[in-house]
Copies of this chain bind each other. A is one copy, B any other.
């Protein structure tokens, strides 16, 4: 495969990813959840199944635990999560989603589904499924399984 072909593929992939991020964000805002940024979505995904500690969250987001702690401050202040004592480790605190956090997560799901439906309208649903299978095989850390 030629370099220029790889570059075209890369450019298309990054463009689609950027637009998807934007559309999900817009969709979430349109559903009434303000003051939430794309980074929060990645955090919610890690928090959803039973919560996580700040350190775990930091590892998942690829930032320092200080940055993760600040992010948690923010989503707690905005009512999307809360800090609870950690069962079995008095040093740690378990960060869990509130009901509002779950609502926001579901809104993100709907927004993502909406964006993907727009693709299906262009290429057909079968092709979109094919896309999903291809990306799932290519994705780092093996096939991606959403945690929510």
Interface residue ranges, A against B (CB under 8 Å): 1-21, 24, 45, 106, 108-110, 112-113, 115-117, 119-120, 122-123, 125, 127-132, 134-141, 143-146, 148
Q: How many copies are assembled?
A: 2
Pairwise interchain contact B146-A113, C-beta atoms closer than 8 A:
no
Chain A contact residues: helix, strand, loop or mixed: helix
Pairwise interchain contact B112-A7, C-beta atoms closer than 8 A:
yes
Kindly identify which residue among B18, B109, B137 contacts A6, using a CB–CB cutoff of 8 Å.
B109
Query: Which B residues touch A11, using CB under 8 A?
Result: 45, 139, 144, 146
Given contacts A1-B128, A119-B138, A128-B9, is CB(A15)–CB(B112) below 8 Å?
Answer: no
Pairwise interchain contact B16-A140, C-beta atoms closer than 8 A:
yes
Pairwise interchain contact A15-B140, C-beta atoms closer than 8 A:
yes
Query: Which B residues touch A138, using CB under 8 A?
Result: 12, 16, 119, 122-123, 131
